[in-house]
Amino acid sequence: MSTSKYIIKAAGQASSISGVMDIRKRVWKRLLAVFALLVLATLVLFVWKQPRTPPIRDAHGQVVPGSISSLEQVELGGVAQWVLIRGTSPEKPILVFLHGGPGMPMMYLAHAFQRPLEDEFLVVQWDRRGAGKSFDASRRSENMRVSQLLSDTRELIGILKQRYQQEKVLLVSHSFGSYLGMLYASRYPDDLHAFIGIGQVVDSDSASLIQADFIRNEARKRERPEAIAEIDSLGSPAFESWLFAFGGELYNSTSWWPLLWTGFKAPEYGLKDVANVPKGSSFSSRHMAYDVLQSSLLHGVQKVAVPVYFFTGRHDYTTPHKLVKAYSEVLEAPIKEIVWFENSAHFPFFEEPRAFAKEILAVGDATVASGQN
């Protein structure tokens, strides 16, 4: 081939490659433009969305007569706090959720898991003072105490019992809420059909040791030496990110993203409410005063007069499942059972919602319907 022919051929190839690159650039620009429009449209819709809870409908799309779908503020301990109440009838047994954190609400995840429960219970979600919809940046922190949360809980349960003419509620608590809930069960058993602790808090010092061992073992198996270096350098503040990375918070995810995205779609939350979730979580964690027990639940609450069920993810290292088992062995209760969720870590209601609903209904059948305790 002559030099001139080679140059012409090479130029043709260069021109062809350049043309392909131009086409790819145009395609990517269009895709990015479409993505940007979708993001913008989502944000616009979300900004203009008015927080509300949808009516309860039957299989034909009709609103169920007599059903309750209420998103309201209730004054507890002198502070207005948001409560969500949903159920097909006011005569259904009351089921109250206590969220974790101490300032991480469950209400913004409720639409993803509690609909099957609304057929059989009046389901109550409550954003406590300093959390979620109830967060107020101007609120002072001196009343962020466990004793105050216990008082608020008793006041709310009293309001619900009086409003719906019922003697007891079924109390379901997650993470920090399970600490609060177990304290409540030990002090006010006459208010409860039963207590369910999800990701049950037991003993924070022992939990930290188990978490550190878990992170080190997983780091070696996965060849992630930076995890060991980070927890050696920073200690427990570095644990959470690695618990996520190694499946000890959400078994099938390595970040908060599935929780955040689900919360973003909550009908009861507006843009301000979503923005307040991390603010409330940080505020509550910084200011919470543990003024009720001088020790952990493992040593401070070893007997309750209500049935107790621990809903435990097999892969939970946030509130390590080993400690839940140990606590169950020392706790005295009329009924005591661990319900295992094999494909979950710390959030079985989110990770296995069908199995979770089935087990909640089973506890209801065993305690509410039978008149246990």
- Over residues 159-181, the mean pLDDT reads 97
Same domain flag for 106 and 177:
yes
Of 152, 162, 158, which is closest to residue 191 (Cα–Cα)? 158
Q: What is the CATH number of the domain that holds 267?
A: 3.40.50.1820
Same domain flag for 174 and 267:
yes
Residue 192 pLDDT exceeds 60: yes
pLDDT of res. 136: 85
Residue 215 maps to a domain:
no
Residue 139 maps to a domain:
yes
What band does 4 get if pLDDT is binned at 50, 70 and 90? very low
Q: How far is the C-alpha of 326 from the C-alpha of 301, rounded, in Å? A: 13
| CB 318, CB 244: distance < 8 Å | no
Q: What is the pLDDT of residues 111-123, one digit of tens each?
A: 999 999 999 999 9
Q: How far is CA 35 from the centre of its chain?
A: 29
Residue 199 maps to a domain:
yes
Same domain flag for 192 and 150:
yes
What is the rounded average pLDDT for all residues in the chain? 87
Q: What is the pLDDT of residues 254-300, one digit of tens each?
A: 888 898 889 889 999 998 898 899 899 989 989 999 999 989 999 99
pLDDT of res. 50: 79
173 - beta bridge partners?
98, 197
**Residue 169 contacts by C-beta under 8 Å, 6 or more apart in sequence?**
93, 94, 95, 96, 124, 157, 160, 161, 191, 192, 193
Same domain flag for 22 and 89:
no
Same domain flag for 44 and 158:
no
Same domain flag for 123 and 162:
yes
Q: Which domain holds residue 4?
A: 1-48
Specify whether the backbone of 191 is left (phi greater than 0), alpha (psi in -120 to 50) or beta: alpha
Residue 24 pLDDT exceeds 50: no
Q: How far is the C-alpha of 171 from the C-alpha of 215, rounded, in Å? A: 32
Q: How far is the C-alpha of 334 from the C-alpha of 241, rounded, in Å? A: 38
Same domain flag for 158 and 283:
yes
Helix/strand/coil for 120: coil
Rounded to 5 degrees, what are φ and ψ at 319? -120, 90
Count of domains for the chain: 2
Same domain flag for 74 and 30:
no
**Residue 305 contacts by C-beta under 8 Å, 6 or more apart in sequence?**
189, 333, 334, 373
What band does 26 get if pLDDT is binned at 50, 70 and 90? low
pLDDT of res. 27: 45
Same domain flag for 2 and 146:
no
Same domain flag for 74 and 23:
no
Q: How far is the C-alpha of 83 from the C-alpha of 133, rounded, in Å? A: 9
Residue 164 pLDDT exceeds 90: yes
Cα dihedral: 348, 354, 357, 359 (round 10): -80
Residue 168 maps to a domain:
yes
Distances from the Cα of 257 to the Cαs of 45, 118, 185, 260, in angstroms? 20, 26, 33, 5
Q: How far is the C-alpha of 170 from the C-alpha of 323, rounded, in Å? A: 24
Same domain flag for 128 and 41:
no
Same domain flag for 194 and 322:
yes
Residue 360 maps to a domain:
yes
Whole-prediction pTM value? 0.85
Residue 224 maps to a domain:
no
Tell which wins on pLDDT, 21 or 112.
Answer: 112
Least confident of 27-36, 115-124, 195-204, 363-372: 27-36
User: What sections of the chain are H helices per DSSP?
Assistant: 3-48, 146-164, 176-187, 204-222, 225-234, 239-245, 257-264, 271-287, 297-300, 321-330, 348-351, 353-367
Q: How far is the C-alpha of 159 from the C-alpha of 172, rounded, in Å? A: 17
Residue 150 maps to a domain:
yes
Q: How far is the C-alpha of 348 from the C-alpha of 134, rounded, in Å? A: 25
Residue 196 maps to a domain:
yes
Count the neighbouring beta carbons within 10 Å of the beta carbon of residue 262: 16
- Over residues 317-340, the mean pLDDT reads 96
Q: What is the pLDDT of residues 27-80, one digit of tens each?
A: 455 555 555 545 544 554 555 567 899 999 998 999 999 999 999 999 999 999
pLDDT of res. 11: 41
Q: What is the pLDDT of residues 215-258, one digit of tens each?
A: 999 999 999 999 999 999 998 888 999 999 999 999 998 888 89
